[in-house]
Structure 1
Amino acid sequence: MIVAHTPDADDAFMFYAMVSGKVKTRLKIEHLIEDIETLNRMAFEGKLDVTALSVHAYAYIDDKYRILSAGASVGDGYGPIVVAKKDMELEGKRIAIPGKYTTATLLLKLALDDFDAVEMRFDRIIDAVKMEKVDAGLLIHEGQITFEMHNLVKVLDLWEFWHERTGLPLPLGVNVIRRDIPDDDQREFLRVMKDSIKYALENVDEAINYAMKYSRGMNKELVKRFATMYVNEYTYEMPINVVKAMEKLFEMAEKRKILKKPKLDILF
């Protein structure tokens, strides 16, 4: 079974126990590490058995994959942001985005009527803004808490945009599993995923030490802060308000004619 996730501290944190053999299983698991937009596009081709996926991307693969009720990345009080060298009006500007199918990009499309999207890897966006290759940049992952170290300012907070309109937590990423995998194996992987997350939450320092290999220059305290932002009670088991939030996100996007609302199929 090929299980794909991102080279980010939060994914490393939640997958630590699985990768290190702390959680036992009859499944033979091979781990693949790629950035989230690469995984989104690989999922479109159905190449991965289990993968981290942007919630946005699920709209295009609901016929191939089911959502796992464990492993979601959910913002509650925080989320993607747009930064620039100075405060500015964003309509019509060139904005670097971390992938066409990221949830952050979908949120930006809901928040702005018109902008020129410049697609690039998420870890190149801050430098692109600093070098003025773009007017602003849409940040995911640790950039949300490190941007001020680069003398950038927050121009748009997409968590605030979302919460003001919905009052719900912000679903950004999920883990999905291929529909054609036998049901017993799907449920066994879900059990392993939950046990891995539980181990990390109960052994934070141990899991953070592993996650440091994906720190990208952050110190241990920042890695811990970032990882525990997105690996939390929502991650262990998806509550009904996160399901409602995904429904709302897709409804808003369909109303704007961005995509067709998919049918949510979640394995609990």
Structure 2
Amino acid sequence: MSTPRTPRTPRPPRPPRTQHTAPPLAIAYSPCPNDTFVFHAWAHGLVPGAPPLDVTFADIDVTNGLAERGADCPYDVLKVSYAQLPYVLDEFALLPCGGALGRGCGPLVLTREPGQAASLSGRTVAVPSERSTAYLLFRLWAAEAVPGGVGEIVVLPFHAIMPAVRDGTVDAGLVIHEARFTYPAYGLHQLADLGEHWERTTGLPIPLGAIIARRSLGAARLAELADAARASVRMAWDDPAASRAYVLEHAQEMDPAVADQHIGLYVNEFTADLGDAGYAAVRGLLTRAAAEGLVPALPPGALRLPE
């Protein structure tokens, strides 16, 4: 005779996973390898607990202009130039991670022929944005190095600047990003390294691109976004191959080796967290620029996230 089995106690149902039910956050950043590398994990829903993103790719001159629209800006989070911060911090807060700041990564001034800084006097110079950090560094440098000042400033998308210099459309070009590695292929010459000039004269790292988020999201939400950006950076470092296809898909036919150099230069410890040195660099740049009348002065404490 068989022994009756003891009935099993039913298992309690598993609690549902915590999910964000709010609409995705609208974010705009560039298709450059450093941005796609940094945001790959977050944009693809791989960061646990992070709010979903609705991603738009846009050149830095476009995102700078969008941020300046303030409450009318259609995005919650944007990548902008650090030079743009004094114009937008009423509406947007600086996130302490996800951006580009470092050493040996500053913009270059390029010409068709070797020359001296004085040769730019009265000349036409192409720049990626009049509100870019690159242009702010250029203005601070030119005030010392170019007697009488440069001539006309022409704004071009950064990928169009080197061809314009090569073809003689402009006399010089201010370039950023992977142009540091590729300008010799255009037969161009480096007239000045503005990052080297900044580091030598200040001892500070170079602030380039910032991640900002709408203040109306609230302090808790802003802290959550900072955590998500930081986690996305660390996940990219832990598994670089995971973002490879995404990076190259948006890298505008960039050589994969150049994309790797780009990421290695612009994604560093300051991308994970600005820290004291990073904040000092941003304050140093914007305070000096304000003293020269180039940007509005920053209110005290404006760079830190609200508590």
Q: Tell me whether the two structures share a fold, i.e. TM-score over 0.5.
A: yes
The 3-state SS of whatever aligns with 2:182 is helix
Task: Please tell me whether residue 52 in structure 1 is matched to residue 79 in structure 2.
Answer: yes
What is the alpha-carbon distance in structure 2 between the residues aligned to residue 175 and residue 9 of structure 1?
15
Letter in 2 for 1:82: V
Cross-structure match for 1:221: 257
Question: Is the contact between residue 91 and residue 112 of structure 1 (CA under 8 Å) also seen in structure 2?
Answer: no
Task: Please tell me whether residue 24 in structure 1 is matched to residue 48 in structure 2.
Answer: yes
What is the alpha-carbon distance in structure 1 between the residues aligned to residue 50 and residue 38 of structure 2?
20
Give the drift of 1:29. Answer: 2.1
What is the alpha-carbon distance in structure 2 between the residues aligned to residue 30 and residue 141 of structure 1?
24
Give the drift of 1:213. Answer: 1.3
> What is the 5 A alignment of 1:232-251?
232-251=268-287
Letter in 1 for 2:126: A
Give the drift of 1:14. Answer: 0.3
> What is the 5 A alignment of 1:1-268?
1-25=25-49, 27-46=51-70, 47=73, 48-88=75-115, 89-113=119-143, 114-115=149-150, 116-263=152-299, 264-267=302-305
What is the alpha-carbon distance in structure 2 between the residues aligned to residue 190 and residue 224 of structure 1?
25
Cross-structure match for 2:20: none
How many residue pairs get aligned? The number is: 268
The 3-state SS of whatever aligns with 1:227 is helix
What is the alpha-carbon distance in structure 1 between the residues aligned to residue 173 and residue 159 of structure 2?
11
Letter in 1 for 2:81: S
What is the alpha-carbon distance in structure 2 between the residues aligned to residue 134 and residue 183 of structure 1?
46
Give the drift of 1:261. Answer: 2.0
Question: Is the contact between residue 94 and residue 303 of structure 2 (CA under 8 Å) also seen in structure 1?
Answer: yes
Give the drift of 1:26. Answer: 5.6
What is the alpha-carbon distance in structure 1 between the residues aligned to residue 285 and residue 121 of structure 2?
21
The 3-state SS of whatever aligns with 2:35 is helix
Output one character per residue of 1:232-259: Cα deviation in whole Å (capped at 9) or x when no partner: 1110011211111111111211221112
Question: Is the contact between residue 84 and residue 153 of structure 1 (CA under 8 Å) also seen in structure 2?
Answer: yes
Give the drift of 1:267. Answer: 2.6
Letter in 1 for 2:27: V
Relative contact order (alpha carbons < 8 A, sep ≥ 6): 1 or 2 greater? 1
What is the alpha-carbon distance in structure 2 between the residues aligned to residue 212 and residue 66 of structure 1?
30
Letter in 1 for 2:139: K
The 3-state SS of whatever aligns with 1:112 is helix
Output one character per residue of 1:29-59: Cα deviation in whole Å (capped at 9) or x when no partner: 2111111110010001121211101000001
TM superposition score normalised by structure 1: 0.96
Sort the Cα spacing of 1:251 and 1:184 in 2 relative to 1 into closer, same or farther, 3 A.
closer
Larger radius of gyration: 2
Letter in 1 for 2:128: P
The 3-state SS of whatever aligns with 2:87 is coil
Residues 215-224 or 130-139, more deviating: 215-224
Sort the Cα spacing of 1:255 and 1:265 in 2 relative to 1 into closer, same or farther, 3 A.
closer
What is the alpha-carbon distance in structure 1 between the residues aligned to residue 219 and residue 277 of structure 2?
26
Cross-structure match for 2:10: none
The 3-state SS of whatever aligns with 1:59 is helix
Output one character per residue of 1:57-99: Cα deviation in whole Å (capped at 9) or x when no partner: 0011111111001112013022100111112222322110001
Output one character per residue of 1:117-147: Cα deviation in whole Å (capped at 9) or x when no partner: 1111111101110110000100012112111
Structure 2: runs of 5 or more not aligned:
1-24, 144-148
